[in-house]
């Protein structure tokens, strides 16, 4: 009798545990494949670089521990975080693939190329000067690489099928932060010749030129990610305030917010101009969810939002975050993995915030 009762209770506990497991993981479970999206092609900087810089002669790499600590098999892939990137979550959510690989990965098959890759390169930007500073892949070169990919796919499946694949794909662009933080602030290479307003306009023109380049290559659904609250990145706080007063630098976050508003207007205007070509352009807001996580970390389960998990979290990134660095025991308690890039949990919550945009793209 008692044994039967205990078994009943254990069964209920097990069922409850399974229910909460599936409930908590429902948002990340793969959707049934939606034929409206054939592939996900990604362009930009370290926020979406899946390992292209591994194959470059540059110091800007992350293909070593502790990067990738919480990725599959604890493997450092060249992603600038402890696990997955937002693009990985998007690809899994729409049912294309679990992870978006780097285009320069020499092991990729034609099938992998057909469902999408990342052309992004850490430390790149819309300003042509930005990638030259660290010998990484410019946005214009990333666009050329996409042209090369189309040729490779066409050789395998023919022009008609390739054109259809390109048309039904989604194109995601994430860049701009390095242009401001590196070129304008840290190394005032552009501030001597541009006012901030002029530089913002310069970047907007380059952004529009890049989008037009994608459209010319056949893109019909393009999502452009805005800037984060730059003044809240741990490295920016450190460079301005040191280790004591760890508050966001409002002036730099304001620049990012103002730029994002201008970017939205430019994208809306471009959308109207390209509507006759059935082109859809989407703005993706990451500024708002990041500000909310940073200003109220406890609400999202974080314990630390002004330093990174790697090292002391003040300046460490790329080679400064390395196998000899001390690392926090639980990265999910940190908004940032290093002094610039969010943790996998931070990226996941950003993805959750922008999921309505993803759903709109799926339906378009």
Per the annotation, the verdict on 341 as an active-site residue is yes
Q: Does residue 124 have a pLDDT over 50?
A: yes
Sign for the pseudo-dihedral over CA of 331, 333, 338, 341: positive
Determine which one of 70, 121, 338, 339 is catalytic. Answer: 338
Domain that includes residue 66, residue range = 33-297+344-363
Across 253-277, average pLDDT: 97
pLDDT digits (tens, 9 = 90+) for 155-168: 999 999 999 999 99
Indicate whether 248 belongs to any domain. yes
Indicate whether 188 belongs to any domain. yes
Q: Does residue 46 have a pLDDT over 80?
A: yes
Total domains in the fold of the chain:
1
Ranking 28-32, 152-156, 165-169 by mean pLDDT, the lowest is 28-32
Q: What is the rounded distance in angstroms from the CA atom of residue 319 to the CA atom of residue 62?
A: 7
Residue 246 pLDDT level (bands cut at 50, 70, 90)? confident
Residue 22 pLDDT level (bands cut at 50, 70, 90)? very low
Residue 33 pLDDT level (bands cut at 50, 70, 90)? low
> What are the CA-CA distances from residue 280 to residues 172, 213, 227, 269, 337 (Å)?
12, 14, 20, 11, 33
pLDDT digits (tens, 9 = 90+) for 55-110: 999 999 999 999 999 999 999 999 999 999 999 999 999 999 999 999 999 999 99
The neighbour count for residue 62, using CB atoms within 10 Å, is 28
Determine which one of 38, 46, 118, 138 is catalytic. Answer: 46
Across 248-269, average pLDDT: 98
Q: What per-residue confidence (pLDDT) applies to 6?
A: 32
Indicate whether 22 belongs to any domain. no
Determine which one of 124, 127, 306, 341 is catalytic. Answer: 341
Per the annotation, the verdict on 338 as an active-site residue is yes
Indicate whether 349 belongs to any domain. yes
Indicate whether 89 belongs to any domain. yes
Indicate whether 39 belongs to any domain. yes
pLDDT digits (tens, 9 = 90+) for 202-211: 999 999 999 9
Indicate whether 43 belongs to any domain. yes
Ranking 28-42, 125-139, 151-165 by mean pLDDT, the lowest is 28-42
3-state secondary structure string across the chain: CHHHHHHHHHHHHHHHHHHHHHHHHCCCCCCCCCCCCCCEEEEECCCCCCCHHHHCCCCCCCCCCCCCCCCHHHCCCCCCCCCCCHHHHHHHHHCCCCCCCECCCCCCCHHHHHHCCECCCCCCCCCCHHHHHHCCCCHHHHHHHHHHHHHHHHHHHCHHHHHHHHHHCEEEEECCHHHHHHHHHHCCCCCCCCCHHHHHHHHHHHHHHHHHHHHHCCCCEEEEECCCCHHHCHHHHHHHHCCCCCCCCHHHHHHHHHHHHHHHHHHHHHHHHHHHHCCEEEEECCHHHHHHHHHCHHHHCCCEEEEECECCCCCCCHHHCCCCCCECCCHHHEEECCCCCECHHHHHHHHHHHHHHHHHHHHC
The CATH number linked to 351 is: 3.40.50.1110
Ranking 22-26, 253-257, 355-359 by mean pLDDT, the lowest is 22-26
> Both tokens of residue 264?
């939205």
Q: Does residue 229 have a pLDDT over 80?
A: yes
Report pTM: 0.90
Sign for the pseudo-dihedral over CA of 25, 26, 30, 36: negative
Indicate whether 269 belongs to any domain. yes
Q: Does residue 253 have a pLDDT over 80?
A: yes
Q: What per-residue confidence (pLDDT) applies to 245?
A: 81
Q: What per-residue confidence (pLDDT) applies to 69?
A: 97
> Both tokens of residue 169?
């794909």
Closest by CA position to 343, among listed 79, 47, 83? 83
Q: What per-residue confidence (pLDDT) applies to 13?
A: 34
CA angle, corner 164, sides to 162 and 168, nearest 5? 120
Arithmetic mean of pLDDT over the chain: 91
Q: What per-residue confidence (pLDDT) applies to 35?
A: 61
Across 2-6, average pLDDT: 37
- Residues facing residue 225 across a β-bridge: 174, 284
> Both tokens of residue 71?
């990725």
pLDDT digits (tens, 9 = 90+) for 304-339: 999 999 999 999 999 999 999 999 999 999 999 999
């Amino acid at each position: 009798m008692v044994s039967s009762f205990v078994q009943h209770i254990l069964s209920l506990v097990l069922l409850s545990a399974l229910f909460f497991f599936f409930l908590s993981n429902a948002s990340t479970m793969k959707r049934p494949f939606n034929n409206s999206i054939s592939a996900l092609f990604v362009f930009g900087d370290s926020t979406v670089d899946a390992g292209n810089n591994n194959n470059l002669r540059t110091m800007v790499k992350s293909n070593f521990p502790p990067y990738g600590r919480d990725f599959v098999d604890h493997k450092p892939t060249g992603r600038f975080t402890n696990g997955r990137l937002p693009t990985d979550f998007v690809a899994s959510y729409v049912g294309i693939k679990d992870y978006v690989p780097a285009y320069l990965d020499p092991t990729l098959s034609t099938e992998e190329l057909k469902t999408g890759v990342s052309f992004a390169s850490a430390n790149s930007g819309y300003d042509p000067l930005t990638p030259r500073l660290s010998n990484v892949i410019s946005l214009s070169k990333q666009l050329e690489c996409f042209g090369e990919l189309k040729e490779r796919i066409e050789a395998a499946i023919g022009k008609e099928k390739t054109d259809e694949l390109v048309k039904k794909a989604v194109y995601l662009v994430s860049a701009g932060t390095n242009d401001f933080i590196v070129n304008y602030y840290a190394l005032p290479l552009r501030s001597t010749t541009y006012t901030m307003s002029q530089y913002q306009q310069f970047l907007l023109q380059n952004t529009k030129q890049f989008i037009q380049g994608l459209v010319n290559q056949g893109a019909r659904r393009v999502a452009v990610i805005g800037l984060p609250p730059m003044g809240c990145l741990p490295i920016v706080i450190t460079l301005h305030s040191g280790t004591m007063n760890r508050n966001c630098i409002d002036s730099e976050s304001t620049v990012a917010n103002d730029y994002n508003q201008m970017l939205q207007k430019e994208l809306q205007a471009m959308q109207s101009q390209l509507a006759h070509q059935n082109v859809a352009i989407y703005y993706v807001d990451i500024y708002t969810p990041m500000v909310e996580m940073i200003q109220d970390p406890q609400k999202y389960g974080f314990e630390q939002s002004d330093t990174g998990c790697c090292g002391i979290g003040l300046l460490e990134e790329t080679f400064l975050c390395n196998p000899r660095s001390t690392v926090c025991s639980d990265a999910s308690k940190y908004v940032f993995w290093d002094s610039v890039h969010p943790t996998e949990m931070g990226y996941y919550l950003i993805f959750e915030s922008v999921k309505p945009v993803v759903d709109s793209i799926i339906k378009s």
